[in-house]
A and B are shown apart, each in its own frame.
Chain A
Amino acid sequence: MFAKLGRYKYKQWFWGYLFVLPVMAGFFLFMVYPMISGIMLSLYKWPGIGPKEWIGFGNYLRMFHDVHFLRAVGNTVYYTIGILILGVPLALFWAILLNQKFLKGRNFFRLIYFLPTVTMMAAVSMVWRWLLSPNYGLVNYFLGLVGLPKVNWLLDPKWAMPGLILMSIWKGTGFNMVIFLAGLQGIPKTYYEAAEIDGATAWHKFRYITLPLLSPTTFFVVITTMINSFQIFQQAYILTEGGPREATTTIVFYIYKNAFEWFKMGYSCAQSVFLLLVLVIATLIQWRIQRRWVHYA
């Protein structure tokens, strides 16, 4: 019997390497190799074909003096802050609504709220192009019904980004809601019962029990939302094509333009490396803090 177990140990080595081989091969060929070659390319000036010209950190220096790139960073931050300020609290609000025990059809409503998150962003963006159309769009129609003026959503530099934020909140909030719901259900009911005996109001329970005990979930949602928002591309590409007047040119959109419309491959790679660095730092902070999180309850 022990001999068999011993033989199994070496069988495990063989089968173990064999089983992880395809996935590890995919990882090294399609992720590690491109990452390294992207970092290399960022040190060259290269129009996509022909010889590469070594310019060291030239692309990186140029990046921080390029008003268009800085604008793209600003737009991306604007979008991210919009989602964080409006989208995340809304997700929490939905989760609290759906967590009420008396509510009938909770699963049904959860399904409805979650539905847009699984649909194709490209197709949804087309739908929102139509919803936000200035004269015949449904959004302006409803604004008119409640007596508000029409907004020239996607054609006005002031309103284009709010339009994108509106659509993204409509599409993505259900996702964070599900995570918040799981967090809410993890809070022991005894805390609320004890508070009720002490005569606590709904607000007190929310402020002194729900919020502090939910803080690890909130932290997770905020960081992942930030990371995802920083990569915003499709909405800008489809709804507004980065315009009007660069109002929705985001970092990834600018990276795409540089590479595939202006053929500044090296410069585009330098921006990608910059973005990757930002995302990696955000993720590391999350992993770090998530692991040794303490409640303040």
Chain B
Amino acid sequence: MHKDVYEARRAFLVTITYALVIFFAITEVLPFIWMISTSLKDLNQVFTMPPQWIPRPAHWENYVEIFRLMDFGRYWLNTIIVTVGRMLGQFIFCTLAAYAFARLNFPGKDFLFFLLLSSLMVPFETLMVPTFVLMKKLGWINTYWALIVPHALGAFGGAFNVFLLRQFFLTIPKEFEESAIIDGASPFRIFRSIMLPLARPALAALLIFSFRGAWNDFTYPLIVTNTDNMKVLSLGILGFKGLRAGMTQWHLMMAAATLSILPMILVFLVAQKYFIEGITVGGLKE
């Protein structure tokens, strides 16, 4: 008797847990499905009620149309250039700094690391005006220099990568480098031929975080660029808000949104393990 009650309660709990988990999963995915669905409609289908989930016929030509109506190809190219530039820079400079902070001894090391770490407290949002003024002084407004160089050198959140990699380098046992030191290898050779190959999982996390940061960046490019041909995707797609006076072209807007979101989703699906591990290492900032 007592056992039956227990079993029944447990069965109830299991059912309700599954129901809730599936319900929340649907709410998280539905907006994406709706976005893709809308992107394949024409303006009549968009305003059909009740909503049509699978558009018939599907208007794939919307995806051609957005490249014709706006310089969408240029926004893509800009985003790729900026993303690759920042990733490359952070891969090299943040890793080198992390190695030095973790494995080399030099005067003032702890103080410099502390300074760098405290820069994580300062979001770009509080530096908009002085950054704009600085970029104007440098003559970098509307250039790739402005979009790439600061982040490539680890400014505005890049310091998190240094922190992440340093934590990893700290866990590598001393024996790995000792024999190389005795053989007279320089720190750079030890870094390149011993440390880098060992750090592969952490480097994957670094590349993914810097990809995400660069691909999705909005506020920074908003401040340092203002011409159409220097726009990145996040800024470019806003143009679809006011396209053709009066009526919002929801289907084109959703096609543009789909093409902007998709690369990040693909990268995430391939590399999600490193993503989630990286977050739990440092509890990174959004």
Contact = CB atoms under 8 A, between A and B. Distances in A.
Contacts of B149: 26, 30
B119 A130 contact: no
Nearest to A116: B28
Interface in B256-279: 256-257, 260-261, 264-265, 268-269, 272, 275-276, 279
Nearest to A259: B129
Q: Chain A interface secondary structure, helix, strand, loop or mixed?
A: helix
Contacts of A34: 127, 130-131, 133-134
Contacts of B215: 120
A35 B122 contact: yes
Contacts of B182: 1, 4-5
B137 to A, nearest CB: 10
Interface in B41-59: 46-47, 49-51
Residue among A27, A29, A115 facing the most chain B CB atoms (10 A cut-off): A27
Interface in A91-142: 94, 97-98, 100, 102-103, 109-124, 126-131, 133, 136, 138, 141
B238 interface: yes
Given A123-B234, A131-B34, A24 B127 contact: no
Contacts of B201: none
A228 B286 contact: yes
Contacts of B13: 202
Interface string B10-49: 0001100110110011011111101100100000001101
A99 B153 CA distance: 39
B110 to A, nearest CB: 12
B122 A128 contact: no
A141 B237 contact: no
A165 B154 CA distance: 31
A98 B24 CA distance: 11
A136 B162 contact: no
Given A119-B264, A182-B280, A19 B99 contact: yes
A79 interface: no
Interface residues of B, number: 102
Contact of A238 (B159, B238, B275): B238
Q: Give the interface residue-count category, chain A.
A: 35 or more
Interface in B155-193: 155-156, 158-159, 162, 181-182, 184, 186-188, 191
A259 B132 contact: yes
A11 B125 CA distance: 40
A242 interface: no
Given A5-B181, A120-B216, A16 B109 contact: yes
Interface of A: 1, 4-5, 8-9, 11-13, 15-17, 19-20, 22-27, 29-31, 33-35, 37-38, 41, 94, 97-98, 100, 102-103, 109-124, 126-131, 133, 136, 138, 141, 170, 172, 174-175, 178-179, 182, 202, 220, 224, 227-228, 231, 233-234, 237-238, 252, 255-256, 259-260, 265, 268-269, 272-273, 275-276, 279-280, 283
Given A122-B233, A260-B223, 9 more contacts: A5-B181, A16-B106, A19-B100, A20-B101, A37-B134, A103-B17, A123-B233, A130-B254, A138-B51
12 contacts: A16-B104, A20-B96, A23-B116, A30-B155, A30-B156, A111-B269, A119-B261, A121-B216, A170-B28, A256-B128, A265-B129, A272-B129
